[in-house]
């Protein structure tokens, strides 16, 4: 057995035109999977797919707004048409439309956060389930956040949605386990992506944030991609319902690391 070989498998990675999602897609492709690159805008998706193909991988671009049920259904239908049944699903796309006290959030912002970050993965899992059942198994990976396990002032709704993704992982793992469908969850710490740029976009902010990390630095997208490859592969074939924290050790600290 080659535990990390994904040759012949089809993977859908949402939010994969940049950042963590792109790294995950690239690592799955390097392991042999044919990968669907998807986000809202077609141009960036095509660029990532073309880069993967230029490196010898197989990738297609299928734009999708994961907050819209019709778009999500079309994504999976088009994946089947172009590449075949889905073996690996990575629910990475997320939104955070509001920054501020939770008690001041509008209903619209709250529902947008929960629908995109929690309801959409439920849609996706329901849509790929028949493929995975028919094939005797599959792997689903939820990309959550360390915000799921600690208080996040001004990011309350986002943190709530990410905590929900952890419980969603456990629930789906229990429901889908009899079909040999594994469901696991990644909890990245602060990663230097555009999504989190407000938290690290100047040297002083990055230096201050890094003080809380025993490894002395913030994460980069390629710190996450290999972990997703592990959970997608047969190397983790007896792991399901679990959360893997990837945060440079920040979550083990009771306070900041001193210089």
pLDDT tens sequence across 115-166: 999 999 999 999 999 999 999 999 999 999 999 998 888 999 999 999 999 9
Does residue 98 contact residue 105 with C-beta atoms inside 8 Å?
Answer: yes
Phi first, then psi: give them for residue 197, nearest 5 degrees: -60, -35
Angstrom distances, CA of residue 20 to CA of 50, 57, 182, 193, 228: 18, 18, 21, 7, 10
Q: Which residues contact 146 (CB under 8 A, 6 or more apart)?
A: 187, 188, 189, 245, 247, 250, 251
The two structure tokens encoding residue 86: 């889905």
User: Mind listing the domains of the chain with CATH numbers?
Assistant: 10-188+224-246 (3.40.50.720)
Does residue 212 contact residue 153 with C-beta atoms inside 8 Å?
Answer: no
pLDDT digits (tens, 9 = 90+) for 97-124: 999 999 999 999 999 999 999 999 999 9
Q: What is the pLDDT along the chain (259 residues), one digit of tens a residue?
A: 799 999 999 999 999 999 999 999 999 999 999 999 999 999 999 999 999 999 999 999 999 999 999 999 999 999 999 999 999 999 999 999 999 999 999 999 999 999 999 999 999 999 999 999 999 999 999 999 999 998 888 999 999 999 999 999 999 999 999 999 999 999 999 998 876 666 556 677 678 778 888 998 999 999 999 999 999 999 999 999 999 999 999 999 876 544 4
Q: How far apart are the first and last CA of the chain?
A: 46
110 part of the active site: no
Q: Give the C-alpha separation, 150 to 127, whole Å.
A: 31
Does residue 195 contact residue 19 with C-beta atoms inside 8 Å?
Answer: yes
| Residue 41 CA, distance from chain mean position | 18
Single out the catalytic residue among 98, 99, 110, 158. 158
| Residue 36 CA, distance from chain mean position | 14
The two structure tokens encoding residue 63: 């734009």
Closest CA to 32 of 87, 81, 92, 75: 87
The two structure tokens encoding residue 259: 């210089």
Does residue 22 contact residue 45 with C-beta atoms inside 8 Å?
Answer: no
pTM: 0.95
The two structure tokens encoding residue 34: 């044919």
The two structure tokens encoding residue 167: 């419980």
């Amino acid at each position: 057995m080659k535990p990390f070989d994904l040759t012949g498998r089809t993977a859908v990675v949402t939010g994969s035109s940049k950042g963590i999602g792109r790294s995950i897609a690239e690592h799955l492709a390097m392991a042999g999977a044919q990968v669907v690159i998807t986000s809202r805008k077609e141009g960036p998706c095509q660029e990532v797919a073309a880069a993967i193909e230029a490196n010898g991988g197989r990738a297609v671009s299928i734009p999708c707004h994961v907050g819209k049920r019709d778009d999500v259904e079309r994504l999976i239908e088009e994946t089947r048409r172009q590449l075949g049944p889905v073996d690996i699903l990575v629910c990475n796309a997320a939104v955070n439309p509001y920054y501020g006290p939770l008690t001041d959030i509008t209903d619209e912002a709250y529902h947008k956060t929960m629908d995109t970050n929690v309801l959409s993965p439920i849609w996706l899992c329901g849509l790929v389930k028949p493929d995975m059942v028919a094939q005797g198994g599959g792997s689903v990976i939820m990309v959550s956040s360390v915000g799921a396990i600690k208080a996040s002032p001004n990011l309350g709704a986002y943190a709530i949605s990410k905590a929900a993704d952890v419980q969603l992982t456990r629930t789906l793992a229990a429901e889908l386990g009899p079909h040999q469908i594994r469901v696991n969850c990644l909890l990245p710490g602060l990663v230097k992506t555009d999504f989190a740029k407000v938290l690290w976009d100047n040297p002083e902010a990055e230096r201050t944030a890094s003080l809380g990390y025993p490894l002395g630095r913030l994460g980069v997208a390629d710190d996450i991609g290999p972990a997703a490859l592990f959970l997608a592969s047969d190397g983790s074939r007896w792991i399901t319902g679990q959360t893997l924290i990837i945060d440079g050790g920040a979550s083990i600290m009771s306070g900041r690391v001193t210089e």
